[in-house]
C-alpha cells in the first residue's frame, strides 16, 4: 500500500493535505468566504445528472469554531473557521501548531475596528507557535463592494503589512457574498 501512495504522490494524483486557520474579527465574512470556497460538484453519467452542492444556503455567525473540508485542484483543505467574537479569540492559539497557512479576513468597510484587527493580526504573528515558522498568510479585504470600503492597498497600509518580512503574505480585495476575489487568493495560497 505504501508503494501506491508514493506512486500517486509522484504522479500528482494524491492531493497534499493542508490545515488552514480562517481568522478575523466577528462579522468580517469568514464563514461566507469558506462557504464560497466549497465546490459545487456536478456529476454527469449516461443514467442521470446529479448535482452535489456542498455550499450552505444560510450562513449564521460561528460560535466557537467549525471545521470544513474541501478540495481544490492540487490541495485538500481542512479549514478551521474560528469565531471572531472577542470572547472566543483566545481559542485561536490552540490551533496554531497544526496549521500550515492562515487566512485572515478583514471587513474593509469597518474603519472603526481596523485598529483592533491590526492588534489581533500582530498578536497572531508574534505568537511563539507562529513567529518562527514561514507560514503563508492570505488576507482578504472583504466587503470591497461597499461604498465606504477601503481599497486593499489602504487596508495593507493600515495593518502595516509591509513590516511582515519573515512570512509570505498576499492581500486580495474580495466580496464573499458574490465570490469575487476569492479565486485569486486560493491560487496564491496553492502556489505558496
List residues forming the annotated binding site for GTP.
24-31, 84, 142-145
Extract the annotated binding site for Mg(2+): 31, 62
- Say if residue 155 is exposed, middle or buried (CB neighbours under 10 Å; 0-12, 13-18, 19+): buried
Answer whether 171's CB lies under 8 Å from 141's CB. Answer: yes
Q: Specify the pairing of strand 49-53 against strand 101-107.
A: unpaired
For residues 30-57, one letter each, b for 16 or more C-beta atoms within 10 angstroms of the residue's C-beta and e for the rest, the string is bbbbbbbbbeeeeeeeeeeeeeeeeeee
CA torsion through residues 133, 96, 25, 115, sign: negative
All three cell numbers of 154: 489602504
SS3 assignment, position 53 = strand
- Give the separation between CA 62 and CA 169, rounded to whole angstroms: 25
Extract the annotated binding site: 24-31, 62, 84, 142-145
- Give the separation between CA 97 and CA 95, rounded to whole angstroms: 6
Amino acid at each position: 500500500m505504501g508503494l501506491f501512495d508514493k506512486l500517486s504522490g509522484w504522479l500528482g494524483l494524491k492531493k497534499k493535505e493542508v490545515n488552514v486557520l480562517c481568522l478575523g474579527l466577528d462579522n468580517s465574512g469568514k464563514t461566507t468566504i469558506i462557504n464560497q470556497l466549497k465546490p459545487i460538484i456536478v456529476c454527469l453519467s449516461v443514467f442521470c445528472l446529479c448535482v452535489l452542492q456542498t455550499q450552505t444556503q444560510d450562513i449564521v455567525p460561528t460560535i466557537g469554531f467549525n471545521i470544513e473540508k474541501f478540495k481544490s485542484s492540487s490541495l485538500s483543505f481542512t479549514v478551521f473557521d474560528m469565531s471572531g467574537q472577542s470572547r472566543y479569540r483566545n481559542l485561536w492559539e490552540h490551533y496554531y501548531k497544526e496549521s500550515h497557512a492562515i487566512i485572515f479576513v478583514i471587513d474593509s468597510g469597518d474603519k472603526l475596528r481596523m485598529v483592533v484587527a491590526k492588534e489581533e493580526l500582530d498578536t497572531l504573528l508574534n505568537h511563539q507557535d507562529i513567529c518562527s515558522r514561514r507560514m503563508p498568510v492570505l488576507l482578504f479585504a472583504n466587503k470591497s463592494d461597499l461604498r465606504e470600503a477601503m481599497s486593499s492597498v489602504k487596508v495593507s497600509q493600515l495593518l502595516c503589512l509591509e513590516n511582515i518580512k519573515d512570512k509570505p503574505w498576499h492581500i486580495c480585495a474580495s466580496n464573499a457574498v458574490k465570490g469575487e476575489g476569492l479565486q485569486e487568493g486560493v491560487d496564491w495560497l496553492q502556489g505558496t
